[in-house]
Amino acid sequence: MPAISQCWLASAIYSEQDQPNVDLVQYEHAVQRAAHDLQRIVATLAQRFSRAADPRLLSWRALLEIEEQAFSDLGFQGRHDPAVIRAFARLSESRLPGGNPDAAVDWCRDDSHLPTVYAIVRTMVQANSGKRA
């Protein structure tokens, strides 16, 4: 499994409204733990979704389903504070999928604040592409 990317880990943004007077060091560690956990869950789901097809050809609909299942995972929800979970950028709340949910995902996006699940799967796709070359 590819290493956690600082680019998408940075997309988990602290909101003082969620947790006033919070220790930012503890919060950062909590976000990192949640990110590692989310990466593991997303990797498992992405492998299931892409068994029949090349993961580079996942549709936006499939990626949104992976995100929904990952964030709905009861173990993930139980292990992490709701404020930490809410800090991750969500694909479902972005404009990234565009108008056609059945179109193949564009893995070439390189924005600074990518939705977390998109960034995790893109890292996996890039790692697998490097192995095939």
- Residue range 93-105, pLDDT digits in tens: 988 888 889 999 9
pTM equals 0.81
Query: In the chain, what are the domain boundaries?
Result: 6-132
What is the per-residue pLDDT across 19-63, written as a single tens digit (0 to 9) for each?
567 678 888 899 999 999 999 999 999 988 876 567 778 899 999
More confident residue, 14 or 129: 129
In percent, how much of the chain has pLDDT > 70? 77
Q: How confident is the model at residue 10 (pLDDT cuts 50, 70, 90)?
A: very low
DSSP per-residue codes, the chain = -PPPPHHHHTTS---TTTSTT--HHHHHHHHHHHHHHHHHHHHHHHHHHTSSS-GGG-BHHHHHHHHHHHHH-HHHHHHS-HHHHHTS--GGGSSTT-S-TTSBP-TT---TT--HHHHHHHHHHHHHHHHH-
